[in-house]
Amino acid sequence: MEFIENYLYYIASFGLILIGLYIMLVKKNLIKMIIGLSIIDTGVNILLISMGYLKEGTAPIFSHKDLLPSRMVDPVPQALVLTAIVIGVAILALALTLTIVLYRHYGTLNVRKIRDLKW
């Protein structure tokens, strides 16, 4: 039980990453694959945040004098996640745009049927 308490965030984040990878490998619908991509991104972001998380920690701002640096959460991963979210949104937007154009060309979103190009 203690194991789960200590590693809950890691289990959850790797769980999300694996769920996302499973979706991307198995699903045939392009929109579902993009949803899988989004789930992977969420998992990675949770992993990054949990790296710097401290139970009952405070924000890293010296707002009054009895705050100790050792009780503050690490702000660096939070800054990283902010950037990662923006990048994720950019990829998501581009992917959906391309999907719309692809649908106009092929009339389907099934990736097994979209295969003009192959080895």
Partner 1 sequence: MVNPVLLIVIPLGGAFAIPLFGFISKHISKYVSLIVALGMTVIVGILIPEVLNNPIVVKIGGFKPPFGINLFVSPFSLFFAGIISLLGFLVSIYAIRYIKEGDIDKYHLLFLLFLAGATGVVLTGDIFNMFVFFEILCISSYALVAYNRDKNGVEAGIKYLIQGSVGSAFILIGIALLYGLCGSLNMADIASQIHSVNSPLLSLALFLFITGFGVEGAIFPLNGWLPDAHSSAPSTISAVLSGFAIEVGLYAVLRIVGTVFGATDILYFLAGLGIFTLLIGELSAFKQNDIKRLLAYSSIGQIGLILFAFSVGTPEGIAGGLFHVLSHALSKGLLFLAAGYMIYKAGSREIGKMKGIGLKMPITSFCFLIAAFSLVGLPPFVGFPSKFMIIKSALLTAQGYFFFLVGAVLLGTVIEISYFFKLLQNIFSRTGEEKIDEAPLGALIPIVILAVIILAVGVYPEIVSKFLHLAAYDFMDRMGYINNILGAL
* Tokens at 88, concatenated: 């994720």
- The label of the residue with tokens 């389907």 reads 108
Nearest residue (CB) to partner 1, 12 versus 114: 114
DSSP state of 65: T
Residues 51-70 that bind partner 1 (CB under 8 A): 51
Cα 46 to Cα 20, 24, 76: the distances in Å are 14, 19, 14
**Binding of residue 116 to partner 1 (CB under 8 A):** yes
Whole-angstrom distance, CA of residue 16 vs CA of residue 42: 7
Q: How far is the CB of 30 from partner 1 (least distance, A)?
A: 7
Whole-angstrom distance, CA of residue 35 vs CA of residue 14: 17
Among residues 26, 94, 110, 113, the one that binds partner 1 under rule CB under 8 A: 94
Whole-angstrom distance, CA of residue 36 vs CA of residue 34: 5
**Binding of residue 35 to partner 1 (CB under 8 A):** no
Among residues 80, 82, 85, 112, the one that binds partner 1 under rule CB under 8 A: 80
In the complex, which residues of this chain contact partner 1 (CB under 8 A)? 17, 20-21, 24, 30, 33, 37, 40-41, 44, 47-48, 51, 76-77, 80, 83-84, 87, 90-91, 94-95, 98-99, 101-102, 105-106, 114, 116-117, 119
